[in-house]
Amino acid sequence: MKGEELAVIWMLIAFQLFLSFPIKTYKHDSY
């Protein structure tokens, strides 16, 4: 596996975590 491919995978994982955490906190605060 190339370093560039690994970097893209980590970027996608971090991006999904970045999207999922604010949504969870927003729903938690709204209730």
pLDDT in 10s for each residue of the chain, 31 residues: 688 999 999 999 999 988 887 766 666 665 5
Dihedral, 11, 9, 14, 19 alpha carbons, nearest 10? 100
Residue 27 confidence (pLDDT): 67
Residue 11 confidence (pLDDT): 95
DSSP line for 7-19 = HHHHHHHHHHHHH
**pTM for this model (two decimals):** 0.51
